Amino acid sequence: MTSVLANYPVNYPNFVEEQSLGSNFPWQLLPMEMKHEITRRMDFSTKRRFSFLSLETWNVCKKRLQLFFDSLEIVDSYWNRPDMPKFIKICATVKRQHCEQYTFRFIDRGFVNCEVEKIYTTDYKNPRTDVAIYNGENFKQMAFRFLSRFLKENRFDHVEYMTACTPCFMSKFVCKSLTISTVDEATFKKVLNLAPSHLSKLSMQYLSGSLYQDRGVQYFKDSDVFDLPQVSNTLSLNVTNKCSMNDDQFLRLKSDRIDLTSDNITENAINMYLKDWINGVRGNLEYLSIRCKEALNSANLLKDIDFIDWETVRRRNGAFATEFEARYTNDRLQSAIFEVSSKNSGKACLIVSPGHLARFIVTQKGGAYFV
């Protein structure tokens, strides 16, 4: 059925965009059909603002979701700031007891979030025939079948995959950045194999027991995932948990920004990495943060590397160096700080903490440090 808004002469998304929901909203200017349409598609959880996606996106979402779910709630909304991206929230569920509920959030075709809202394991049975109609596994398959089709046929800037379930019926998808948060370690490799080989940003979180419990406590044991091109070719890599990345995998990274924790990366590998940057091989490197269990030896890290001690930097740059030191060595008063230079990327600062942190901050021209 064609929406009543499709033939309305006013460009209604712009017409009602950023309008308050109070007495100032021009309800009297809208025909009754449009009032019903707006009310039906309004997000009542955020009262202050709302907006719409295109009718094409809306109708496609609605039509496809209804193929898999008995009931669904599709909500267009705005964040509490008008400059934040618009999003469409889809709550797809079977409105009976003991069934799973998934939420998909699509933001301007640039973001998709898959999140498990509720998980029940008991199968639902028809009270008359006592025959199982839906069970958790079937519902999960329906949810991922929809997600797979939508990812395959639409291009997103960012995909955030956050679930306690292993993906099924997934196909290759296109996106620029990817976030994976899951309690199943095997999910990382399965999702990454379906993602593009060159990502602008990749974040991986290995969650403990529940999605909503303490995060970052699991140990990332699978090292094969770091051999995938989706990891080595990404421009920005963030691994929240301690991982088993080794020296060879670390040196193959082509990332501009790296943030990870690993006890398998040696000081010699970090030294080689820094030499490559200094010699211009890694000219785009912006940020490198490696957390290790053992204390890092600055002499090994800076072997055969020309550097300037921090006392000289402090005397040369005065208050600026002191401000930088106070900001980036907070609670690490014993940190050793050195300045090194690259042929292509200018000066940089290397902080070596006796505790567990080595941080590499590139400087822009003029000496402005940034992370």
Interatomic CA distance for residues 303 and 306, integer angstroms:
8
- 195 CB contacts (<8 Å, ≥6 apart)? 159, 172, 173, 175, 178, 230
Higher-confidence residue: 173 or 5? 173
Whether the pLDDT of residue 113 is over 70: the answer is: no
- 312 CB contacts (<8 Å, ≥6 apart)? none
Geometric angle at alpha carbon 254, from 163 and 191, rounded to 5°: 20
Closest CA to 240 of 193, 208, 273: 208
pLDDT reported for residue 270:
85
Phi, psi dihedral angles at 263 (to 5 degrees): -90, -5
pLDDT reported for residue 322:
67
Cα→Cα distances 260→108, 237, 289, 292, Å: 31, 8, 6, 9
Most confident of 35-44, 74-83, 204-213: 204-213
Least confident of 45-49, 86-90, 238-242, 297-301: 45-49
Q: Which residue has the tokens 């329906």?
A: 142
Whether the pLDDT of residue 363 is over 50: the answer is: no
pLDDT class for 147, splitting at 50, 70, 90? low
61, 31 contact by CB (below 8 A): no
- 8 CB contacts (<8 Å, ≥6 apart)? 31, 34
- 274 CB contacts (<8 Å, ≥6 apart)? 301, 302, 305, 340, 350, 360
- What length is written for the chain? 371
What is the residue-averaged pLDDT of the chain?
Answer: 60
Interatomic CA distance for residues 301 and 83, integer angstroms:
44
Closest CA to 205 of 241, 161, 251: 241
Write out the E strands in 222-364. 236-243, 257-262, 287-291, 308-309, 336-342, 346-352, 357-362
pLDDT class for 280, splitting at 50, 70, 90? confident
pLDDT reported for residue 148:
61
pTM for this one? 0.60
Say which amino acid occupies 94. V
Buried b (16+ CB within 10 A) or exposed e, 277-309: bbeeebeebbbbbbbbeeebebeebbeeeebee
Interatomic CA distance for residues 66 and 345, integer angstroms:
53
pLDDT reported for residue 283:
66
Closest CA to 223 of 247, 203, 237, 243: 243
72, 66 contact by CB (below 8 A): yes
Interatomic CA distance for residues 20 and 115, integer angstroms:
29
Higher-confidence residue: 332 or 148? 148
Q: How many helices (DSSP H) and strands (DSSP E) are in the chain?
A: 11, 16
